[in-house]
Structure 1
């Protein structure tokens, strides 16, 4: 055990906030403008100031469609910045836990992806995240890369919040029903990451920790199924339930094509770290209850 803190980046994002809320070990959480991948000097200064024992990188460019018009900025945030951070961790001899995405895959496999499946991102966002994975893993650092999917929480901008807000404005919604994946609560992902950090700090680094892992809530659904679950839970707590029509991806065109089936297989995470995240529906009930309670608080 060390008295040096864990450095958590992306402090103002969904995952960063969840990590800071749950961390029991000493930590320092940093975000923009103090820590900004657009300004590499801030990466070095925050790292030096914290003198961490381990780094959790939850900072990223996450605007999927906007990345198409901001290629260089997306790559600076998702490849170059994490690469710098990984180099600092390598030189300091400390581990890095880096968060990636299901969007490194094209969604055409037809079954849950395992860590060794070929990547094939469909847009700039996915390509920049895949490049970031390589930058981290090829840095020489002790590095864990966790791919996750469909992250949501009671705070911040995410699909669950968008659905709750939309239902308060309209009685009928159309939601894509032919894209399959797994909603992942930020608080559950944070708990898994902190459990991994605890294993490292208590038992030391193991060679089996190095590399890619998939970390999502368990189970699967579609965006339409996720929306229906959100509204069922909200209606039980007094919210007006809209009618939700399932539509196809073709009915809802976006600048970047989304993977049709980006389910991730979490077997390796369970085998190496003994971790399985809760069922996505149970996570959704917790998050929506927390969200609505906060909404109604004076």
Structure 2
């Protein structure tokens, strides 16, 4: 794998939090009080995590989010991670916060307070702008800001000619799923639980049981709203699957997971790491001529980056650089 220079610019419209980590031997059970073995305060939020991952993968990324007046240190840290922070606005509500437990075996439990992430200050500013996403080629969305903000961002991005990527995590509610403009999504990144939830939300039989990964992708591909949508289905230790409709024949395939070098220490940021490296990768591919080998190679890189992130503590702190991934893959 040769060194890559990403073309274009990605706007990440998403959440940014003050994350508080508590390190425990086991995740606290209901009714249980437990002492933490350690504590740390860090920048977090799925949007912020993914923006940093894009930057570390060599991409040009600008973050659109909102913090409270208590979040100036967060903006400075994001800037230090190589993210364009000119799209971060300061609102009246306090900065979003996450309380995260991390156990000795790497599992995590998270409680979110959205705070300023659910502010509509960005949408208010947009009304006076000629173009909301000037100079951008891609938009990346998750689901930790207000539903209306996510929908409006996607609609405007398509009107302005951006290529859209959606990682609906956490998945929209059962009432929101049928109302979301799925046909405007160019790349959909989902995990196993999100895939099942999405299929049930769009199915005429919402009580249908969980399905295999192949069945989920095939059934999603049969839904008219996804006829032109590329679907990436992450499977953790089992790798990832892809559905690329433009390939016509052999348009569904699997990429194996990376082999871990160390023990699992923290899985919190693996999905965001994968997503960031994926977006940085597609920004250097021609959207009209993308081939199976391009996607297979990109998934290999993303799986390697995500695999490296789980043997390190933290979320943003665990995301490797492009150079580190290149080096690791060269030794395989």
The answer, yes or no, to whether TM exceeds 0.5 is no
TM-score bin (small chain): 0.3 to 0.5
Structure with greater helix percent: 1
Structure with greater strand percent: 2
TM-score relative to the length of structure 1: 0.41
TM-score relative to the length of structure 2: 0.37
